[in-house]
Structure 1
């Protein structure tokens, strides 16, 4: 039984060791996301379905004839290790962050330059080896003010000088409200989230808006299985946990007979909202679920019915197994 797009991780990951003692100080979702115990629990909940992860249709690759190789046992073990590494890369979760603060810093005001030109002048440091967040980009406005560039101006200039694959200078029309709504209705969740990771930084307010809307739509329609075993499942689970909206997910896990995942999810919930340890061994999964339904559930009646159906299913299976043994 089991127990236990982006900014570079080195830029935003810190050594968070949140415990029940300092739990009340946690406000930034990054402090939860980068907690090692939370990371381990999210990876466990995400699952590792090779057929989903390496599905050529979802990867947009054309099908080709299978390739067969004869391998020794050592070569086979090495190939399996390599496959696991590739899987880890594909399942690396985009971080769950708070929205960044707008840049509004004036360097100097020179009114004597007013009227010199009716266009802005943008000055960008294009030196090699400078991290994007530390690269200097300043703007001289027509009225003479010299200021640091806004995030939008920075990212536009950086995309011109240092283009990233899959990112456009201006956000594509798919992120407009009407177009996004149509994509959500078509359940194109992975396409939306992958595209958002390519286009925006994870602390960009527009990225946060798009991903949270997608998570909320998935929760409303209980489409969790469509994200399971993808890199977006973990951030969605953590977001719903922080927002106290895991009831529909628990119901889906019950229907899919994922009893251990339910225990992991509730332990994560108790860590986020009650400061309990994530390393505590759970002896009775169902007792943990019943306690959650009693004390924290916002859809108590629905979960009680789902739990009752689950228990009846287990009872029927036990009776069938007994009849087989006696026969």
Structure 2
């Protein structure tokens, strides 16, 4: 079976070009055509020998993921459903900002095995890991469609990135490469449910990627009920791993906390969160729960969230209330479940945004 070139990491491209008897520079040359120059066919790669291009066409066809659905939020957020050649679908979200920046929220897996009770992706189950190239091509396709250079990437879509660690890191390195996407490492965030071995591995990486942890509860019993997939990583051990990460990297950790009315927003919950943050260099993002179909959970009241923010900040814990974008198209955190709204791809003509042009 042929392997699509767009599924491969830069390392894998290097390995197969070497095995084909090509010089060492050929791998980066090929990757530059694929991502830096955006070639859609091998015929465009004019400085690559014709015989090798023909070999590539036969052994590693150039096929991008296809946009099979696209929705636009009233706040400007775009949600793509991308289909890979094996018919597996993932969701990718583009978040343009008023200052000309473009953030892409990409998926690391098709589906998710974590089973978080408030998350639509977890209810859909796990399909498979994505390859490094498949992660990268989410950014490529979204950037090309939005006609704007991507400035930030968050691996916060479908899946748990630390259960697909190697592919995720290979993808971020391709995005960071100066001749491909040239996105700064500090502008790329990996969001984990709290997979401790992954946190430890990341602390040893040379790049300054940002770490975010979906905490959602600082009381063990509550967290186990909300996030059964990480119940084997107790909060006490998670905190120690995060403290070790901060010592090793000198970088702050972001803690994501989706506030759910009557579940994790009591005074006891807040005090437990304060205890968890004690002695930890961190920033808290309080997120009003995004509603999903057939869920009994409801977001916390605004007054509860503002009280939490004020109290946490008074106690020296930097805290932000993050207003999720794209919730009206089920494109916000916890809502990604490959739900098609349209029967086919929506063209650019029906998806106009006041965006800066790609330079």
- The TM-score range, normalised by the shorter chain, is under 0.3
Task: Tell me which protein shows more helix as a share of its residues.
Answer: 1
Larger radius of gyration, structure 1 or 2?
1
Higher strand fraction (1 or 2): 2
Higher RCO (C-alpha 8 Å, min separation 6): 1
